[in-house]
Amino acid sequence: MSREEFINYHRQIHAPLFMSIPESQKYVKKYVLSHPTEIAGFPPPEYDSVTDIYFSSMEDFNAFFSSENYKLKVHPDESNFFRLNDVVSLVCDEKTVVDVIKPSALE
């Protein structure tokens, strides 16, 4: 699949499927898809995407990923556009250092 097809599938097919299950509404606090761009002076990206999924607790994380809806509806779709053996997962405890949104950025 081309890069453009991958991004389209991720954003237009998989993300809506992910958000369609009730567990997303119940447990997911923030869901972000990032697709790297190539910029002169930077090395080529090693990954096709970064997906950030925020939960309030590890209990919510576990409840989401162990739910039948995730296992039967969302997870099977991942192999349609991800090489699952190449996926790298990282569970983090995030510490926000600064979080400033200027009013002009919202316009």
- List the domains of the chain with CATH numbers: 3-106 (3.30.70)
Assess contact for 32 and 52: CB atoms under 8 A.
yes
Q: Is the pLDDT of residue 92 over 60?
A: yes
Task: Assign 42 to helix, strand or coil.
Answer: coil
pTM of the entire structure? 0.82
pLDDT of residue 34: 94
Task: Assign 79 to helix, strand or coil.
Answer: coil
| Residue 46 DSSP one-character state | S
pLDDT of residue 94: 85
Assess contact for 8 and 21: CB atoms under 8 A.
no
- pLDDT band per the 50, 70, 90 thresholds, residue 93: confident
> What is the average per-residue pLDDT within 46-65?
94
When comparing pLDDT for 66 and 104, which is higher?
66
- pLDDT band per the 50, 70, 90 thresholds, residue 105: low
pLDDT of residue 54: 95
